[in-house]
Amino acid sequence: MTKDIINLRPHHLLCILNFVGMGYSPHFVRIIKDVKRKLEQDAVYVRLVEGQDDVCVSCPNAKACEGLKYISLIDEKVLKAADLRYGAVYAAKELLCLIETSITLDLLDIICRECAFFYKCKSIYSQRVSEQADHAHTPNMCV
């Protein structure tokens, strides 16, 4: 059995959890949708990578982004908050659940504040946290 492995920067896990169709270009949005759909399938794995990943290849800002230190810092913060490491391969569904349960709204503020999509993502994340609290008696699919 072969594994379908997607290479992702750690912070793209947050981007994908909060993705609602916004992006830098129509091609980029299409790629994010495809990656998100794949991550929701069984037998899909994620390898955490430094630098460009399977999402970056479609980004019109990829070249400019390469040299930005704060992007690497965002990745490092996600790794630390969720106790993850570069090069490791994780089951996609479990990894997304781990991110969702590890990254609180306060941590999202710390990790993502510099991102152009921060306020939109924070709103989406906040709503998801609120909905989960409202349905606390319902089994969480991440458990």
- In this structure, how many other beta carbons lie within 10 angstroms of the beta carbon of residue 58? 18
Q: 91-130 burial, b if ≥16 CB within 10 A, otherwise e?
A: ebbebbbbbbeebeeebbeebbeebebeeebbebbeeeee
Which residues in the chain come in under a pLDDT of 50?
1, 138-139
User: Cα separation of 81 and 76, whole Å?
Assistant: 9
- pLDDT, residue 5, reads 94
- Are residues 105 and 122 in contact, defined by beta-carbon separation less than 8 angstroms? yes
- pLDDT, residue 55, reads 82
Q: What is the pTM of this model?
A: 0.82
